[in-house]
Amino acid sequence: MSYTAIPILQKLPYLARYVAWLMLCLIATVGPVAHAEDESKLKIRDVNVTLDEGVYELDAKLDLTLPDGARKAVESGLTLRLTYEITVDRVRRYMLDAGIAALEQRYEVSYHALSQRYLVKNLNTGEQQDFGSLQAALERVGDLHGLPVIDAALVSDGPVYEGGIRAVLKMNTAPDVFGWLLFWTDDWSAESDWKTWMLRP
């Protein structure tokens, strides 16, 4: 525990100090989730793009393995955010590729202690699902199916188009009022390599 936190705690009201101490103890128990990128594994595979009613849609699978520290952090109340970054470029031989489309698909995974269920929230649509285990929740966010990527009207015959996707994983801190309690740990994050595919109209 960082001793620099003590003066700050003394300035808080009694109830806030009590909760803050509980959180500090929790952090000490869970341990820092820093440097977890060495243990995590994110790999995108099985990318497939199909044309459906004038829109190119993406299917993909993400192999996602969390280190123990990150799993314990989620189980203790922190939120895991997964963002898929997707791009489509027009390939040009003697110039930089021209960006045609760029989008993000974002999810949050959290634990609801009262129901003892893991919640997956689609931040793009607001849709929410619950699961009985963290592994099931991770499998859900690791499965992209029928994600609209680009309107067929934006691509034309002749040019070659290249698409790319990667996954970025971050651990959100505690609620804002107590976020400073995690100042002594590094932010935990991990990302996959870019997975590319060719789009031929």
Tell which residue, 31, 30, 39, 44, has the closest CA to residue 66. 39
More confident residue, 138 or 15: 138
| 47-88 pLDDT per residue, tens | 999 999 999 999 999 999 888 878 888 888 889 999 999 999
**Contact status, residue 195 vs residue 165, Cβ threshold 8 Å:** yes
Would the pLDDT of 10 be above 60?
no
Non-local (6+) Cβ contacts of 89 within 8 A are: 97, 98, 99, 100, 161, 162, 163, 164
Q: Measured between alpha carbons, how far is 192 from 186 in angstroms, rounded to an integer?
A: 19
| 128-180 pLDDT per residue, tens | 999 999 999 999 999 999 999 999 998 888 788 899 999 999 887 554 444 44
pLDDT average, residue stretch 99-121: 94
pTM for the whole structure = 0.75
Distance from chain centroid for Cα 43 = 13
